[in-house]
A and B are shown apart, each in its own frame.
Chain A
Amino acid sequence: MNSLLRAYQLTCIREDRVLFDELSFTVNAGDLIQIEGANGAGKTSLLRLLAGLSLPYEGEVRYREQAITKCRENYYQNLTFIGHLAGVKGELTTVENLSFSLALQQDRIDNIDNAIERVSLTGFEDSYASHLSAGQNRRIALARLWQSTSKIWILDEPFTAIDKSGVAQLEQLFLDHVARGGAIIFTSHQELQIANHSVQRINLEDQI
């Protein structure tokens, strides 16, 4: 079986510091991968490399065995990336923000209410995002995951800014997504409660 996503000898250098050198790993359907490392170890840099937002100093990222720079459209069809920045516009309402990002990503636009309920923003549908808290803004971004049709999710600290029941819901969504044949690559400071599924871990500090 072909891999979904492959990191091939990735080298990342930021401000003359080698963050990781010739890092290779494979992401298959059904994988739940947590990237670990101290602050500044290059977790975010790695996620951005995988998403194709930045280019590696050396090496390449391959989607279905093809360099992602050569098959951008196909890859992005199947990628949902939620980074540090929420990508939420303060001047738009919760629903407007969500529907725009769903349209952009070609995700399902039906049943948006369910997604909003999942991130416990019911009642805030028509509030401007600038009137909501930072945590709520982040949850607007996360709501996309419930509508997502993409196979690969790359999530930078998805569990910050959501409460305990929210974490449980998101973990459940992770398991469902993986069971459906998706793959998730994420970073987190929190310990996950997921027990019945083996979370693969990649520690960046071991790579140097």
Chain B
Amino acid sequence: MSTPQPLSYRQLFWQVMHRDLKVAVHNKGDILNPLIFLVIVITLFPLGIGPETNLLTRIAPGIIWVAALLSALLSLERLFKNDHSDGSLEQMLLSPQPLFIMVLAKISAHWLLTGLPIILIAPLLALMLHMEPLAYPALMITLALGTPVLSLIGAIGVALTVGLKKGGVLLSLLILPLYIPILIFATAAIEAAALNMPYSGHIAIISALLVLALTLSPFAVSAALRVSTN
């Protein structure tokens, strides 16, 4: 009887991510619905405050980012829910493989499915809100660096509430305050870009937040999952 070689970190990461992507292909609504939600929320703002172009141009960065936060929150709920209810989360916790790699893989898969589409659709949203054309690159860069942070921080909240029956509203209460720094720096970067001012400093700070979230969040999520499956 031969004992198989343990998986390398990279193999484990790919296996878990591959599996999550495969599962997601079967639940297309999980990917599409948050995106539709995002577009609808964006539509509501001009309807609520009037179609005046100047006003929309000024508040476009804020609106897009707030809507992105909310849609991230909406999609995050599913991150561990199914795995928890069908028992595969238990199996991951009982694996001799390092949990934080698996967690990181799941979060990455989740970001590919929900964060990336937001970035792709963002120019369209910016167009609808008459955003300053100069600011488009900044919008894309902040979303590219910022949405992974949303997934990473959000995952902590999801992991803490996944075992609860009514976790949804609680999740937003736990997570939204933690999203504030990223919201501030991202919108500030876009506003600076719209005024044709340098915004590399903001981007540097957002990158730093990303690195911090990337290193700390998987451990917090792992610890939280062990509590939630109790």
Contact = CB atoms under 8 A, between A and B. Distances in A.
B26 interface: yes
Interface centre among A51, A52, A96, A106 (most CB of B within 10 A): A106
Contact of B230 (A55, A84, A91): A55
Contact of B86 (A79, A87, A107): A87
A91 B3 contact: no
B1 interface: yes
Given A106-B6, A108-B1, A89 B95 contact: no
B15 A105 contact: no
Contact of B96 (A54, A76, A92): A76
A63 B18 CA distance: 33
Interface in B74-90: 82, 85-88, 90
A91 B87 contact: no
Interface residues of B, number: 30
A129 to B, nearest CB: 9
A87 B19 contact: no
B8 to A, nearest CB: 12
Contacts of B6: 106
Q: Interface residues of A: mostly helix, strand, loop or mixed?
A: loop
Contact of B4 (A79, A84, A109): A109
Contacts of B1: 108, 149
Interface residues of A, number: 33
B86 A86 contact: yes
A100 B111 CA distance: 22
Contacts of B47: none
A177 to B, nearest CB: 12
B64 to A, nearest CB: 32
Contacts of A100: 15, 19
B148 to A, nearest CB: 25
Given A89-B88, A91-B26, A108-B1, A53 B230 contact: yes
Interface centre among A85, A107, A149 (most CB of B within 10 A): A85
Given A89-B23, A92-B22, A149-B1, A104 B92 contact: yes
A81 B97 contact: no
A64 to B, nearest CB: 15
Contact of B94 (A54, A76, A86, A89): A76
Interface in A132-176: 149
A53 B94 CA distance: 8
A101 B91 contact: yes
B86 A90 contact: yes
A52 B225 CA distance: 13
B90 A54 contact: no
Contacts of B3: 106, 108, 149
A10 interface: no
B97 to A, nearest CB: 6
B90 A81 contact: yes
A83 interface: yes
A77 interface: yes
Contacts of B2: 108, 110
Contacts of A88: 86-88
Interface string B19-62: 10011011100000000000000000000000000000000000
Interface string A27-68: 000000000000000000000000111110000000000000
Nearest to B82: A89
16 contacts: A51-B94, A53-B90, A54-B229, A77-B96, A85-B86, A85-B87, A88-B87, A91-B22, A91-B26, A92-B23, A100-B15, A101-B88, A105-B96, A108-B2, A108-B3, A108-B4
Task: Name the 5 nearest CB pairs between A and B, nearest first.
Answer: A85-B87, A87-B87, A91-B26, A76-B96, A77-B96
